[in-house]
Amino acid sequence: MNVSFAPLRSDAVRILADSLDIDFSIASFKPPAWFCVTARDDEGTIAGVVACEFTRDFDATFNAVVLDRRCLTRRLYRAIFTALFSRAVRVTAEVSPFNNDAIRVMPRMGFVYEGYRRKGIEGVRDALLFGMLKEDCVFLPGYAGGTTQVMEMPHGLSTQSA
């Protein structure tokens, strides 16, 4: 895998927008407002995209699409979260209640379910809100199991594998 920490190219933006059903057309994906990662296979095909926007001085919004799970290794996740937590106190992710794969993966990464936001995604779709503090991140050195009480997921939703 070839990994780039540069602003997203148009093909990566298209995959991110299409997969998440979010309009990223006005986003610059340039630092310091954005932290981006693109992983490509040896043929140049996109295997994964991570785009995090620093929405406030203390918070980064996490967006990710993984097309090939081999692209996001533990080492790469450590680099991503080390960079994010060098600037942010927390990382926030909004996940569609219908994205069962993401709902299962979020706690494994260290994200904690924090609530339900009606029309939380672009003011159009509902979202499950997940947050991560540095001490919650399973990829960072010194992880000791997190510090936060986990909220119960809404009825019918689960972070457990089926």
Dihedral angle, C-alpha 134, 89, 100, 70, nearest 10 °: -60
Indicate whether 147 belongs to any domain. no
- Could you identify the residue written with the tokens 């997921």? 153
Indicate whether 60 belongs to any domain. yes
Query: Taking 90 as the threshold, does the pLDDT of residue 154 lie above it?
Result: no
Q: Residue 8: give the domain boundaries.
A: 2-136
Q: How far apart are the first and last CA of the chain?
A: 30
Indicate whether 91 belongs to any domain. yes
Q: Which SS3 state, helix, strand or coil, does residue 52 take?
A: strand
Task: Give me the helices (H) in the chain, please.
Answer: 10-20, 74-85, 100-109
Query: Taking 50 as the threshold, does the pLDDT of residue 14 lie above it?
Result: yes
Percent of the chain with pLDDT over 70: 90
Tell me the C-alpha distance between 162 and 160, whole Å.
6
Residue 65 pairs with which residues in a beta bridge? 49
**Average pLDDT over the chain, rounded to an integer:** 90
Query: Taking 60 as the threshold, does the pLDDT of residue 151 lie above it?
Result: no
Indicate whether 115 belongs to any domain. yes
- Could you identify the residue written with the tokens 């997203």? 8
Query: Taking 80 as the threshold, does the pLDDT of residue 101 lie above it?
Result: yes
Indicate whether 102 belongs to any domain. yes
Tell me the C-alpha distance between 37 and 59, whole Å.
18
Indicate whether 150 belongs to any domain. no
Indicate whether 154 belongs to any domain. no
- Prediction pTM value: 0.85
Give every CB contact of residue 142 below 8 A, 6+ residues apart in sequence: none
Give the chain's domain count. Answer: 1
Tell me the C-alpha distance between 72 and 148, whole Å.
25
Q: What is the CATH number for 45? A: 3.40.630.30
More reliable by pLDDT, 137 or 145 = 137
Indicate whether 142 belongs to any domain. no
Residue 162 confidence (pLDDT): 43
Each residue's pLDDT tens digit, 28-75:
999 999 999 999 999 999 999 999 999 998 999 999 999 998 998 899
